[in-house]
Structure 1
Amino acid sequence: MASAYDGKSNFDSELRIVLIGGRELHGNVSKKTFTGNIILGKRCFDTSRRTSQSEVRHSVVYDRQVTVVDTPGWWWHYPLKNTPELDKIEIQNSVYLCPPGPNSFLLVIPLGIAFCQVFKSSLEEHLKLFNSEVLNHTIVLFTVETPYPPNFLKQFLKDEISNWPALQWILDKCGSRKHILNITDSQNNFQVLRLFEKIDAMIAENTKTRYLVDELTGKSLKARIQTLKEKASERLAEVQSQRKKLRTLIEGGKPLPQHLRLVMVGAQWSGKSSAGNTIMKRNEFMLRPGRATEYCEVRHCAVTNRRLTIVDSPGWLYNNSLSNSCEMDVFEIKNSINMCLPGPHAILLVVSLSSAFNDPYQKALQEHMSLFSDYVWKHTIVVFTRGDWLGSKPVEERIESEEGLVWLVEKCGNRFHVLNNKIHDEEQVTELLDKIEEMIAGNVVTYYHSDPQEAEEIENQRKAGQKKAKRIMQVTQQQERFLTELFRGEKRLPQNDLRLVLIGRKESGKSMAGNRILFDEIFGTAWMKKEFQVEQRNKKAVKHQARIDRLNMTVVEAPGWSIDTAPDDWMINEAKQSVHMCEPGPHVFLLVVPISQAFSQSDLTVVDQLLEQFGEQVWRHCLILFTWGDWLNNRSVEEYIARGGTALQRLLEKCMYKYHVLNCNRYNDEYQVINLYQKVYTIITRNKGHYSISMEEGLRKGQAVLTEEEWYTREQELIDRILKALAQETQEPKTLPLKGVASIDGAFIPSMSHEVPSEYESARWVLPRGHAKVAEWLDMRVWSSCQTSGVHSYSENLTDEDYTTEHFPEKIQKEVCQNERRRNSY
């Protein structure tokens, strides 16, 4: 075959290519690795495992010497600080594996992924691992896995760029250089030849100047990698020596318990439930997208001739401090050791290898482990999940690369084990149980003693919390019935505009809530949990609008405050500005409270200070919007409120028990938004319109108020008194089952434990679907009738019969009833 470059001289005889890019959230294989094999024309890279270190391969392709370096991929939605240090080192080292340096980088992006702003931020940070010239030598390589006609692919790519502005930003930075590669079509010679032509054109554009590497940095990286390997070997030898001594004790006749009691603790998404299932060799612990465990769960089994009792406990939010964890989770974690009396033989501290064990992670772990006595560390083994993330690297090398991991394993007496929850390997389970028995043999006391008195106290607290939760549910049901009767038959005010203000602290989910309400990704980042975002500071109030059916929606997000900080004048002024940004005034203030975190007295003080400038009347227009509803799973929001402390309960009283739960993680439950709209209309009906700051200022200045307004004020005061009276009732409800929001939503975050494959739905069809459902509801429920007040909301407390009496389209009736049955089934 003649060379495709016959007669051409404007190219380098050797191509040195470095493949870079992130890792798909729901993918188990790297598109970069497949790309390398397609370019080289044969299977040079191993696609059966993750690329954990930069690997170089060579081949002669169409009479040219081609060198390709594959690098570890980062999670597309992670900032640089969450990428493991070992991965950073390997990515940096990639440019030194193809001397004198690469003449091209291929930024691999699967065509069709939702490339949102978070991915752009992640890419910007990870590109800092190279020098500032990297994008001048980069081509964006879009991969596909299905054969498509060329014209279709061109239009598809054009649509993707239009849908995701972050893609256009990347292309602009790369001089609009791009290529589409089918990574499943190894016989298509043209696509590789065309890629080489584009690389040659880029090289010529750069006047044949290659990417310059710093030799001193290269030597430093090489020395660091060598040091890590040496330290890893030393740690492995130390562990083997320690285990040998302990095995000698067992072989010498040291008695071991016939029944092992194990408790698993760790951060959320670390893989506790999956680790438990791997140990038991069957799916005993339920796995769900998003949060898997909300209560302590106990399972029993027999494995390798050993009887086991395993307790799974709720995880804390990745980098949440203990004081910021919600009380329900703290309660369950603390109670975990009481679930296997007289106490566990081993505490399995589960840590995922797919994320960096950085300072926030370490601090959160240390604080939550302080719920137990310091003696707990003598009975603790670190269980590393996502063993597949190591690839060909030993875990000891990963430990030595991060100071936090060194601290952790030494705190546990150098006891650690790796589990790969993706495979069913009996040997890894047997070895873990052997290590547990060795730890028991080395301890003077064979198990961690729980305190029976503390267990009894915790049980009493649980019962008190359940009783209070029922009481809160009773109050809200009574108020709903009362308001329904009070405003039944009242003519609805003309309502073509709806104006909302979001108020809450940073990382509370305000932006996500705004996006859910407007069915668009316009308030900052909506596709990931904010603990993985770069914190935005000094943010001003932001206003966005949308039209749904005949309704003009305006949502304003006020700046959030940091934990345990008082608002300054700037923040108070911005809160006031947020009200002026939706003149003549907002209909409802949505006070955003994340269920995954605690609501402190400091938070309540800030809310009071921000709202006091609007007068006491403002509370009538307030609704508590609980975000991260998926954190509840089978628990009720009332249980969260009951266990949330006096500050949260005081806020609930101020808002007259008006609240709503929203799952912010995905756009696949439009009924939550419809229900929120319904509750907003209830508030508007009760208040006869929107909040007006000018009216409040007039009252303060002693200006004359119209008789009609006086009557309105008296009427509102009467309603408030009745609602307060209802709240003071002591009668217990006859039947008030605690039902949770039980969402199928999951966090937009990789399954670091491989509990379930992470997945997400494309906003291209989910957002319009939700928008259409809300528009249909508005048209049929709101505009069709002025005879009803809209107070009667289809909440979780209503029956299927209640739903069907409403004026919903038949399709919506059916789906809502199915959704309610699903919730009742829990």
Structure 2
Amino acid sequence: MADVDVSNSGQSQPFPELRIVLIGGRELRGNPSNRSKTGNIILGKSVFDTKRRTAQCAVGQQAVHGRQVTVVDSPGWWWHYPLENTARLDQLEIKNSIYMCSPGPHAFLIVIPVDSVFPHIFKLSLEEHLKLFHKNVFKHTIVLFTAQYSAVSLEDEISAWPALKWLLEQCGNRKYVLNIHNTQDSTQVKTLFEKIEAMVAENAGGYYSTDLAAGDALRQEMQAIAHRASERFAEVQTQRRKLKALIEGGKTPPQHLRLVMVGAQWSAKSSAGNTILGKKSFAVDHRRTTEICEMGHGMVAGRRITVVDSPGWFYNHTLHDTCEMDKLQIENSIYLCPPGPHAVLLVVGLTSAFNASYQRSVQEHMSLFTDDIWKHTMVLFTRGDWLAAKTVEERIESERGLQWLVEKCGNRYHVLDNTKYYDEMQVTELLEKIEEMWAGNKDPHYQVSQGHAEKIEARTEAGNKKAEKIRMITWKQSRMLRELFKGERQPNTDLRIVLVGRKESGKSMVGNRILLDELFDTSLMKKEFQCNRETSKCVKRIRNVFRVDVTVVETPGWPTDTTIPPWLKDEVLRGASMCAPGPHVFLLVIAISKAFTEKDLKAIEEVLKPFSERVWRHCMVVFTWGDWLSNRSIEEYIAAEGTALQRLLEKCRNRFYALSYYGGAVMELFRKISDIITQNKGQCLTTEDKPGKKQKLLWRLKQPTLTEEEWDRREQELIDRMLKAVAQEPEEPTLRSVKMSGSLDEAFIPYMSGEAPSEYGGPIWRQKARAKVSEWLKFGAGNSDVTSGVDSMSVSASYMEKLDGNPLTDKIHHAMQCFYPEKDKTMNHTRVSTDSVKTQHRHSF
């Protein structure tokens, strides 16, 4: 939209007419926007529908307090999304809002719940969406806080969020609190009008004027979309009539329909599967629930139905980004209903734009199958309630990506509203469309290769065996070192940690979990908002956790598939010097939801190279998005991901930990860190600045004598030899694996980013967590016997200063006897692979 000037009527008295536009975003979860309810309160009557989303601008007029008031309710955007993730239809409607109250609004009211969060990411989203108007919009804006009660501590809320303070500054500190619970209090509306009129007076009686030419162009675009939508609808109906004629002519559809559902994470696949089957066959909550393919069966509309639900991928991930474990499961989905599916339902949510990255992601992930897959594919749009008064054809015609997708699927698509699970007609119509697609295809179903199915089974079985081997090795190493250095742990009075990892790995979340507070910026949309600044700096945060000083330094991340620039290596080196006298531990942060490649390994090695090879004695891998595993173990992910990740873990002495967003024992992470400190006898890597010389790395010892250094080297060599020997031991009976609890599936709306989100823990949770962590930090504790997805054992060691050669040899000999008795009944646990159970279904038809 072209920039326009604000008109000036020259009036200073209150206007007999007020024109108001309601704008604002929606949170992914939590507080509703309350815009429609606010509009009804202002007008004093129910004009706007508060039970469904505003997808099309709605206008209401009423005489209120002696003024003729016009209120326009506009569609909201997701506060976490940039403009490119907002559907084009919504963008057009937001633009159109100012033309619904000609000649222009006196006031924009940005509606925000008073107890809502307002992080920096909301500011970025607001700035981008206000570009739909011109730069002078803030001159005509009041921030309207909605509250459910009268006593509101607004200043406390504002002080908690710097982005909110920025917004108020942009609006000339104009704000108002509206109690939406007390709809009968007309005085608060009158006071709001007075504030609006005062703002108009500040603007010399001006209102936000509209550009007539821009308005005409906008209307023409919306009309063109509606016209194309009508044509597409007619084309689809003609196509359906031809296919129905084939069925009516004697081509009888199969009585048993086999359906496979694929699509991006949080596209509501699981919910759609339940809607189709008319029962809760697939788990659905606010976390990820489909980590392996699952099947559901039922009788629906006189047909026998089998539905296969597959794991989703992040909508903006390339195929290269998706972890091997997920790719294998997605590929495996079509083999679970032999001889092949009649239909593949490509699930796309209507809650966000199908932009270029989304289109690329779909195209690449569908390449896991052969090109023939498209002949049997139908687009299944979910969240049909998001359309409201709009048609799905209008949505398709407004986005080129959707046009490409629908045409790729032969103009076959259907809309489901999972909130209307009781509506059998929408499911019956879907099944009819599937039967019509079947009638039009030469092949009755998608042909699968039995040979390829056997290869997938072999890969799955090999991965399970590898996972068991990893689990056994870490278990043996943990037991050996626990006995070898038993009782040697010392209290810690401080703890210094450096976080290293690529962009969107979740470093900020790890830092917040360690410090038990939201001290690092966890903007969920860093990638979405192009925050790839090469000038990123290390961020240091300190927190005293019950008399233990914990320092965490977050180093800048690097983009995927890029070489490490020199400035980043220097910055990581500087980060280590920020926690003087030096870090105890380097936590290498890796997101489970993403693939780990050879390039990732080389990048980490390059970043840590300035610290010399001894840095690996201080390193541990922390996996984020542990919930992504759901019921799978972290060892399964490590085994599936390949040699690059496994080599990194070997460098870190097999020390790793999977950190869950939705809970998890962070206390165990502190125990593992304490083990590393104990093993290194309190040593830390530090830097020293000397005039005229380059920054030099030093190894700081508690008792830096030559004899001690030599003994330390010999001791570490012995430990490393022991660990390698354990890794080469023949396989033992398998251990029972403790699985990850919880998941990340969301039949609602995605965090459209790989960045692990932060946790908004309450004060009670934080106090309890700090108390537990403090206990481990201050006094230490013994190690666990079990390795699993959450609590995979780390290698531990202790002080050896007081031991001479013979006692050490005796201690090792004793430890070896403890670890490898002839009969160790603790090893006689078995574990049944969920994949093997799922594979059995393949031959059940």
Q: Distance in 2 between matches of 1:459 and 1:578?
A: 46
Partner of 2:448: 450
Q: What are the Cα deviations for residues 218-241 of structure 1, in whole angstroms up to 9, with x where unaligned?
A: 111111001000000010010011
Return 125-134 or 160-169, whichever deviates more.
160-169
Map 1:469-484 → 2, pairs under 5 A: 469-484=467-482
> Once the 2 structures are TM-superposed, how far is the Cα of residue 775 of structure 1 from its aligned partner?
3.2
Partner of 2:643: 646
Partner of 1:135: 138
Q: What are the Cα deviations for residues 519-540 of structure 1, in whole angstroms up to 9, with x where unaligned?
A: 22232225x3655554332112
Partner of 1:775: 770
Q: Distance in 1 between matches of 2:34 and 2:563?
A: 47
Q: Distance in 2 between matches of 1:350 and 1:420?
A: 12
The counterpart of 2:45, out of the listed 42, 47, 50, is 42
Q: Given the superposition, is the C-alpha separation of residues 272 and 531 from structure 1 closer, same or farther in structure 2, using an over 3 Å criterion?
A: farther
Partner of 2:516: 519
The counterpart of 2:95, out of the listed 92, 97, 100, is 92
Partner of 2:415: 418
> Once the 2 structures are TM-superposed, how far is the Cα of residue 184 of structure 1 from its aligned partner?
3.2
Q: Distance in 1 between matches of 2:576 and 2:670?
A: 19
Task: Check the 8 A contact 2:143/2:176 in 1, yes or no.
Answer: yes
Task: Check the 8 A contact 2:290/2:312 in 1, yes or no.
Answer: yes
Return 769-778 or 626-635, whichever deviates more.
769-778
Task: Check the 8 A contact 1:319/1:531 in 2, yes or no.
Answer: no
Q: Distance in 1 between matches of 2:759 and 2:656?
A: 29
Cα root mean square deviation, aligned = 2.5
- Quick check: 1:217 aligned with 2:214? yes
Partner of 2:355: 358
Corresponding letter in the other structure for 2:771: E
Corresponding letter in the other structure for 2:726: L
The counterpart of 2:670, out of the listed 673, 677, 699, is 677
The counterpart of 1:535, out of the listed 531, 535, 555, is 531
Return 341-350 or 734-743, whichever deviates more.
734-743
| Structure 1 outlier segments of 4+, above 6 Å | 823-826
Partner of 1:722: 722
Partner of 1:465: 463
Task: Check the 8 A contact 1:386/1:753 in 2, yes or no.
Answer: no
Return 637-646 or 548-557, whichever deviates more.
548-557
Q: Distance in 2 between matches of 1:9 and 1:621?
A: 69
Q: Distance in 2 between matches of 1:464 and 1:260?
A: 32
Task: Check the 8 A contact 2:475/2:785 in 1, yes or no.
Answer: no
Q: Given the superposition, is the C-alpha separation of residues 143 and 267 from structure 1 closer, same or farther in structure 2, using an over 3 Å criterion?
A: same
Q: What are the Cα deviations for residues 74-116 of structure 1, in whole angstroms up to 9, with x where unaligned?
A: 1111111111111111101111111110010100001212222
Partner of 1:810: none
Task: Check the 8 A contact 2:635/2:788 in 1, yes or no.
Answer: no
DSSP-derived class of the 2:105 partner? coil
> Once the 2 structures are TM-superposed, how far is the Cα of residue 769 of structure 1 from its aligned partner?
3.4
Partner of 1:181: 178
Map 1:448-597 → 2, pairs under 5 A: 448-492=446-490, 495-526=492-523, 528=524, 532-538=528-534, 539-597=536-594
Partner of 1:303: 300
Q: Distance in 1 between matches of 2:314 and 2:61?
A: 44
Corresponding letter in the other structure for 2:550: M
Q: Distance in 2 between matches of 1:576 and 1:761?
A: 26
Partner of 1:104: 107
Corresponding letter in the other structure for 1:567: I
Partner of 1:757: none
Structure 1, unaligned runs of 5 or more: 1-7, 755-759, 803-822
Q: Distance in 1 between matches of 2:750 and 2:758?
A: 21
DSSP-derived class of the 1:643 partner? helix
Task: Check the 8 A contact 1:300/1:309 in 2, yes or no.
Answer: yes
Q: What are the Cα deviations for residues 489-536 of structure 1, in whole angstroms up to 9, with x where unaligned?
A: 2151x532211111111111111211221222232225x365555433
> Once the 2 structures are TM-superposed, how far is the Cα of residue 825 of structure 1 from its aligned partner?
15
> Once the 2 structures are TM-superposed, how far is the Cα of residue 135 of structure 1 from its aligned partner?
1.2
Q: Distance in 1 between matches of 2:35 and 2:415?
A: 26
Q: Given the superposition, is the C-alpha separation of residues 767 and 354 from structure 1 closer, same or farther in structure 2, using an over 3 Å criterion?
A: same
- Quick check: 1:738 aligned with 2:737? yes
> Once the 2 structures are TM-superposed, how far is the Cα of residue 781 of structure 1 from its aligned partner?
3.9
The counterpart of 1:614, out of the listed 603, 608, 611, is 611
Q: Distance in 1 between matches of 2:91 and 2:377?
A: 29
Q: What are the Cα deviations for residues 685-727 of structure 1, in whole angstroms up to 9, with x where unaligned?
A: 0011143245984689xxx961111111211111111111111
Map 1:253-402 → 2, pairs under 5 A: 253-402=250-399
Q: Distance in 2 between matches of 1:64 and 1:694?
A: 71
Q: Distance in 1 between matches of 2:626 and 2:668?
A: 14
Q: Given the superposition, is the C-alpha separation of residues 660 and 477 from structure 1 closer, same or farther in structure 2, using an over 3 Å criterion?
A: same
> Once the 2 structures are TM-superposed, how far is the Cα of residue 9 of structure 1 from its aligned partner?
7.8
> Once the 2 structures are TM-superposed, how far is the Cα of residue 461 of structure 1 from its aligned partner?
0.8
Q: Given the superposition, is the C-alpha separation of residues 277 and 491 from structure 1 closer, same or farther in structure 2, using an over 3 Å criterion?
A: closer
Q: Distance in 1 between matches of 2:287 and 2:697?
A: 46
Partner of 2:626: 629
TM-score by length of 2: 0.87
Partner of 1:438: 436
Q: Distance in 2 between matches of 1:752 and 1:68?
A: 29
Task: Check the 8 A contact 2:512/2:758 in 1, yes or no.
Answer: no
Task: Check the 8 A contact 1:286/1:292 in 2, yes or no.
Answer: yes
Return 376-385 or 202-211, whichever deviates more.
202-211
Partner of 1:811: none
Q: What are the Cα deviations for residues 189-239 of structure 1, in whole angstroms up to 9, with x where unaligned?
A: 111111111111111111111113222211111110010000000100100
Corresponding letter in the other structure for 1:46: D
Task: Check the 8 A contact 1:79/1:534 in 2, yes or no.
Answer: no
Q: Distance in 1 between matches of 2:57 and 2:587?
A: 49
Partner of 2:804: none
Map 1:781-820 → 2, pairs under 5 A: 781-783=776-778, 785=779, 790=781, 792-793=783-784
Identity score, percent: 55
> Once the 2 structures are TM-superposed, how far is the Cα of residue 127 of structure 1 from its aligned partner?
1.3
The counterpart of 2:71, out of the listed 68, 75, 83, is 68
> Once the 2 structures are TM-superposed, how far is the Cα of residue 275 of structure 1 from its aligned partner?
0.4
Task: Check the 8 A contact 1:26/1:750 in 2, yes or no.
Answer: no
DSSP-derived class of the 2:54 partner? coil
DSSP-derived class of the 2:41 partner? helix
Corresponding letter in the other structure for 1:619: W
Task: Check the 8 A contact 2:739/2:790 in 1, yes or no.
Answer: no
> Once the 2 structures are TM-superposed, how far is the Cα of residue 659 of structure 1 from its aligned partner?
0.3
Partner of 2:811: none
Q: What are the Cα deviations for residues 415-451 of structure 1, in whole angstroms up to 9, with x where unaligned?
A: 0000000112111101100100000000111100111
Structure 2, unaligned runs of 5 or more: 1-10, 689-695, 752-756, 794-830, 835-845
Partner of 1:751: 748
Task: Check the 8 A contact 1:29/1:47 in 2, yes or no.
Answer: no
- Quick check: 1:32 aligned with 2:25? no
> Once the 2 structures are TM-superposed, how far is the Cα of residue 26 of structure 1 from its aligned partner?
3.1
Task: Check the 8 A contact 1:376/1:448 in 2, yes or no.
Answer: yes
> Once the 2 structures are TM-superposed, how far is the Cα of residue 288 of structure 1 from its aligned partner?
2.6
DSSP-derived class of the 1:282 partner? coil
Q: Distance in 2 between matches of 1:259 and 1:316?
A: 28
Task: Check the 8 A contact 2:542/2:549 in 1, yes or no.
Answer: yes
Task: Check the 8 A contact 1:660/1:676 in 2, yes or no.
Answer: yes
Q: Distance in 1 between matches of 2:548 and 2:759?
A: 25
Q: Distance in 1 between matches of 2:629 and 2:529?
A: 22
